[in-house]
Amino acid sequence: MERKEISKSVLKRLPIYLSYLKSLPQGSAEYISATALANALGMGEVQVRKDLAMVSDGGRPKVGYRRESLMDDISQFLGYDNTTDAILVGAGKLGQALLGYSGFEEYGLNILAGFDIQPTIQKTEDGKPIFPMSELENFCKMNKVLMGIITVPAQYAQQVCDQLIACGIKAVWTFAPVHLDVPENILVQNENMATSLALLSMHLQAQMKERK
């Protein structure tokens, strides 16, 4: 179906619907309505109806959507169907954990290899190769890699980001707690765990003080 402009908030809800639909046991009803979905998830019916209409044209009045088709439509819309090959730079603790995390496959992400300025190991436990940075450009171009994951310390992130872009990367997923400057055609998504943890920790400290 024709792709429409879509807001970030819709994009946040779509994975929720998909996750719920996937969780329904085998042998559940073939069809599901926006109303049933809204009720199950405690969300507004109108919103759910609009969201689904954006990604699927399979809805039938009174009956709803065929569950299987709806899952396919959402997956396809979110790009989970197209497997995206990615490489990761910074094979420290976090980098290795991400390299070894097979759950990304569900979202169509396939991390081909890790790169590090000084690899301490040649392979992760799961057999993902870790190469020295000198092989980055060649590898990215040979494998036409378009997504790069950055798990280096903050102060090296910009430099690594620039290198990735020079290697043809168009989408950057970074775990370094720092703003990255990129050209307009490159998308950066920042996963800032250090900030999350600081916020949580500060909240707990404030709570403790109140109790005293």
Q: Is 173 in the site for its own copies (CB under 8 A)?
A: yes
Q: Give the distance, in angstroms, between the CA of residue 105 and the centroid of all CA atoms in the same chain.
A: 10
Q: Does 153 bind its own copies (CB under 8 A)?
A: yes
- 36 or 171: whose CB is closer to its own copies? 171
Site string for its own copies, 37-76 (x = CB under 8 A): ---xxx----------------------------------
Distance between CA atoms of residues 34 and 63, nearest Å: 10
35 near its own copies, judged by CB under 8 A: no
Instruction: Mention every residue, 6+ apart, whose C-beta is less than 8 A from residue 137.
Output: 163, 166, 167
Within 89-118, the residues that bind its own copies by CB under 8 A are 92-94, 97-98, 100-104, 107-109
Residues 13 and 43: their CA atoms lie apart, in Å, by 10
Shortest CA distance to 150 belongs to which of 79, 69, 95, 212?
95
Residue 146, phi then psi, degrees to nearest 5? -115, -15
Summarize as ranges the residues that interact with its own copies (CB under 8 A).
8, 11-12, 14-16, 19-20, 23, 40-42, 78-80, 82, 84, 92-94, 97-98, 100-104, 107-109, 146-147, 153-155, 158, 170-171, 173, 177-178, 185, 187, 189, 191-205, 207
